[in-house]
């Protein structure tokens, strides 16, 4: 073997070892702790509340922190109107209807949801014309069944067609145990939801339509000379509570979908099947307080920040910056943040090209060995192929890399 060729092989071997070391460098296994770890403290079980099923959800992460029968299908009563609100808000956002639209109150809305019924109503007059934004307030604040039906008919032509829209949005949001048959929550056999699904919906409403969500904290609304108070008693009890909706029928019991904000944290509590009006309010408040007292949310990684720069083969650049496309948030019991661990699963050999945002690997977060969250790792920049000679050189290095692996395997 000539001196030049021996030198080339030797240089390639050295480069290969260095490149392989970079490609297989172990990612950080423990996340940085931005503040001193809180000493371990006992965390009690969640409160035993007056409800047949309930869920406590952290808004930022969507994690279910505690629950009882979260997937039990139950009559949702007027919690149905949270979805009616979501659909109307989505249709407004799409430009298909508008807040200043004038809506004519049909006989169906008047008869099925008006003052002559035993359900909650906005006392809308038959044939009257009402501004859409007033109907929205009447439905959310007064829980008006007539307002809900009128909104449904305006948005979809009929309440049945609107129910189909509701179910389409429910599927889109991942509400797998929900089916709607009407816009008001009137009890019928094929109309049900769960505490978990309503929490999922509530989180989406707050996130997607914050301006419309803000209506749910209005304490009273007057229409046609009749002033009615919001039935969510927690709005008067705790200033941190800003929504969301009450519900009650004989079949459903007393229900409450509540949310509150303290500092940078928001919690959502859904209570279904309480025995009394006071019982549902006490239950939701106890769950919200439990969440704020014993759980905390942390940002583990920031969107767009490189978490690793492994070796890139056959690329215009030698390294590929890898990170997450959105902030990685995790909610844990107070004092357990320092026990979180993160590992990154990245292929040992990355060969160009890559597009920005393309998934490259997986970030896994665990607590005491149990999975907490898995998030895709993506390329943070475009990584095009290198020139001909760059690709040829990397092909030589990769060939030696494969040969050395085979030799190691044969030796074993």
For the ranges 159-163, 264-268, 270-274, 395-399, the lowest mean pLDDT is seen at 395-399
For the ranges 37-46, 296-305, 385-394, the lowest mean pLDDT is seen at 37-46
**Segment 382-404 mean pLDDT:** 81
Q: What pLDDT score was predicted for residue 305?
A: 95
Q: What pLDDT score was predicted for residue 393?
A: 84
Helix H, strand E, coil C: the string for the chain is CCHHHHHHHHHHHHHHHHHHHHHCCCCCCCCCCCCCCCCCCCCCCCCCCCCCEEEEEECCCCCEEEEECCCCCECCHHHHHHHHHHHHHHHHHCCCCCCCCEEECCHHHHHHHCCCCCCCCCCCCCCCEEEHHHHHHHHHHCCCHHHHHHHHHHHHCCHHHHHHHHHHHHHHHCCCCCECCCCCCCCCCCCEECHHHHHHHHHHHHHHCHHHHHHHHCCEEEECCEEEECCCCHHHHCCCEEEEEEEEECCCEEEEEEEEEECCEEEEEEEEEECCHHHHHHHHHHHHHHHHHHEEEEEEECCCCCCECCEEECECCCECCEECCCCEEEEEECCCHHHEEEEEECCCCEECCECCCCEEEEEEEEECCEEEEEEEEEECCCECECCHHHHHHHHHHHHHHHHHHHHHHHHC
Q: What pLDDT score was predicted for residue 411?
A: 53
Question: How far is Cα 353 from Cα 34, in angstroms, rounded to an integer?
Answer: 35
Identify the bridge partners of residue 367 per DSSP, sorted by sequence position. 340, 370
Is pLDDT of 126 > 70?
yes
Active-site entry in 53, 81, 106, 181: 81
Backbone CA torsion sign across 169, 133, 58, 265:
positive
Identify the bridge partners of residue 244 per DSSP, sorted by sequence position. 258
**Segment 108-137 mean pLDDT:** 92
Per the model's pLDDT, the better-predicted residue between 86 and 336 turns out to be 86
Is pLDDT of 3 > 70?
no
Q: Which of 87, 85, 57 is nearest to 70 (CA)?
A: 57
pLDDT band, very low/low/confident/very high, at 35 (cuts 50, 70, 90):
low
Residue 143 annotated as catalytic: yes
Answer left, alpha or beta for residue 185, where phi above 0 means left and psi between -120 and 50 means alpha.
Answer: left
End-to-end alpha-carbon separation of the chain, Å? 28
pLDDT band, very low/low/confident/very high, at 309 (cuts 50, 70, 90):
very high
Q: What pLDDT score was predicted for residue 398?
A: 82
pTM over 0.85: no
pLDDT band, very low/low/confident/very high, at 390 (cuts 50, 70, 90):
confident
Residue 78 annotated as catalytic: yes
303: number of Cβ within 10 Å:
12
310 within 8 A of 350, measured Cβ to Cβ: yes
Q: What pLDDT score was predicted for residue 27?
A: 47
**Segment 311-340 mean pLDDT:** 93
Q: What pLDDT score was predicted for residue 364?
A: 96
For the ranges 29-38, 161-170, 377-386, the lowest mean pLDDT is seen at 29-38
Percent with pLDDT over 70 in the chain: 87
**Segment 286-296 mean pLDDT:** 97
Determine whether 348 is exposed, middle or buried from the number of CB atoms within 10 Å of its CB (0-12, 13-18, 19+): exposed
Question: How far is Cα 84 from Cα 181, in angstroms, rounded to an integer?
Answer: 11
Side-chain-side CA neighbours of 86 within 13 Å: the count stands at 27
Per the model's pLDDT, the better-predicted residue between 121 and 29 turns out to be 121
Show the CA angle centred on residue 399, arms to residues 396 and 401, nearest 5°: 110
Identify the bridge partners of residue 179 per DSSP, sorted by sequence position. 192
**Segment 65-75 mean pLDDT:** 98
Is pLDDT of 17 > 60?
no
Percent with pLDDT over 90 in the chain: 78
Chain segment 178-204, per-residue pLDDT in tens: 999 999 999 999 999 999 999 999 999
Active-site entry in 78, 193, 259, 274: 78
Q: What pLDDT score was predicted for residue 8?
A: 34
pLDDT band, very low/low/confident/very high, at 33 (cuts 50, 70, 90):
low
88 within 8 A of 155, measured Cβ to Cβ: yes
Is pLDDT of 32 > 70?
no
**Segment 148-157 mean pLDDT:** 98
**Segment 49-54 mean pLDDT:** 98
Rounded to the nearest integer, the mean pLDDT of the chain is 89
Q: What pLDDT score was predicted for residue 7?
A: 35
Q: Which domains does the chain have, with CATH numbers?
A: 3-30+302-411 (2.60.410.10), 53-297 (3.40.710.10)
User: Which residues are within 8 A (CB) of 254 and not within 5 positions of it... i.e. 6 or more apart?
Assistant: 246, 247, 248, 273, 274, 275, 276, 277, 279, 280
Is pLDDT of 11 > 80?
no
Active-site entry in 53, 143, 193, 259: 143
**Segment 111-125 mean pLDDT:** 88
User: Which residues are within 8 A (CB) of 406 and not within 5 positions of it... i.e. 6 or more apart?
Assistant: none
Q: What pLDDT score was predicted for residue 26?
A: 42
Per the model's pLDDT, the better-predicted residue between 264 and 85 turns out to be 85
Pair of tokens at residue 186: 């009137």
């Amino acid at each position: 073997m000539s001196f030049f060729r021996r030198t080339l092989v030797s240089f390639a071997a050295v480069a290969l070892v260095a490149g392989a070391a970079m490609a297989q460098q172990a990612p950080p296994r423990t996340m940085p702790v931005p503040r001193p770890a809180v000493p371990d403290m006992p965390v009690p079980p969640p409160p035993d509340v007056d409800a047949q099923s309930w869920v406590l959800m952290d808004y930022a992460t969507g994690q279910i922190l505690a629950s009882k029968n979260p997937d039990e299908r139950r009559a949702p009563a007027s919690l149905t109107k949270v979805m009616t609100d979501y659909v109307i808000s989505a249709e407004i956002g799409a430009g298909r209807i508008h807040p200043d639209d004038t809506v004519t109150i049909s006989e169906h809305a008047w008869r099925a949801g008006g003052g002559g019924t035993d359900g909650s109503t906005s006392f809308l007059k038959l044939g009257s014309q009402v501004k859409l934004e007033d109907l929205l307030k009447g439905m959310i604040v007064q829980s008006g069944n007539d307002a809900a039906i009128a909104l449904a008919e305006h948005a979809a032509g009929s309440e049945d067609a609107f129910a189909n829209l509701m179910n389409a949005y429910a599927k889109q949001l991942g509400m797998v145990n929900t089916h709607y048959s009407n816009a008001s929550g009137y009890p019928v056999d094929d109309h049900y939801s769960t505490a978990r699904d309503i929490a999922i919906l509530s989180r989406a409403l707050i996130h997607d339509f914050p301006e419309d969500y803000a209506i749910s904290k209005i304490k009273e609304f007057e229409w046609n000379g009749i002033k009615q108070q919001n039935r969510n008693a927690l709005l008067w009890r705790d200033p941190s509570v800003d929504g969301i909706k009450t519900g009650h029928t004989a079949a459903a019991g007393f229900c409450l979908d509540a949310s509150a904000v303290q500092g940078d944290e928001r919690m959502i509590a859904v209570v279904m099947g309480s025995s009394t009006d006071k019982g549902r309010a006490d239950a939701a408040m106890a769950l919200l307080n439990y969440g704020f007292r014993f759980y905390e949310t942390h940002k583990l990684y920031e969107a767009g920040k490189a978490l690793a720069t492994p070796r890139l083969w056959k690329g215009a650049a030698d390294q590929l910056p890898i990170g997450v496309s959105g902030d990685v948030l995790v909610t844990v019991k107070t004092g357990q943040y320092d026990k979180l661990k993160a590992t990154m699963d990245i292929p040992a050999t990355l060969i160009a090209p890559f597009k920005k945002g393309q998934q490259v690997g997986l970030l896994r977060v665990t607590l005491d060995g149990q999975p907490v969250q898995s998030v895709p790792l993506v390329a943070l920049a475009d990584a095009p192929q290198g020139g001909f000679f760059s690709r040829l050189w990397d092909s030589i290095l990769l060939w030696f890399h494969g040969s050395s692996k085979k030799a190691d395997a044969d030796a074993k």
